[in-house]
Structure formats: C-alpha cells, structure tokens
Amino acid sequence: MAREEMGPEQLRLAARGGAGLEQFYGRLGWKEIGRWPEALRLAVGDDRDEVLMVLSLL
C-alpha cells in the first residue's frame, strides 16, 4: 500500500530486540542496519536493544 500511494524508495522501522522480531521481519525482506544496545527498558534489569531495520521498495 505504501509503495502505491506514497511512492517511497524504502521503509524504516525500529523493533525491540530479544522478541524474535528480527527474524520475523527478516523473513519478509527487511534488513537489520543497526542497533542501539540496551536502549529500551522494559523493567528493572530487563533492557533490550532497539533494532533498526530497512526494507527497500525498489
């Protein structure tokens, strides 16, 4: 839908590490381009990486 209506060349997203989202999005063609280590605090002692991903639409 984004490809048809807005015409972008790529989409970007940030996902929470440690929840299997990297693998889920990877199977859909998304590529990991970076991480912010321990950027997300879910609870005391439960810090997760923020995973930066991109999907090329070209």
Please tell me the distance from the alpha carbon of residue 52 to that of residue 13, in angstroms, as a whole number.
Answer: 6
pLDDT means per 10 residues in the chain (58 residues)? 74 92 95 94 93 92
Structure tokens belonging to residue 14? 């940030």
Instruction: Give residue 50's domain range.
Output: 2-56
Q: What is the pLDDT of residue 1?
A: 64
Please tell me the distance from the alpha carbon of residue 39 to that of residue 48, in angstroms, as a whole number.
Answer: 6
Q: What is the pLDDT of residue 5?
A: 73
Q: What is the pLDDT of residue 7?
A: 76
- Report the domain count for the chain: 1
Residue 39 sits at the vertex; the CA angle it makes with 54 and 18, to the nearest 5 degrees, is: 70
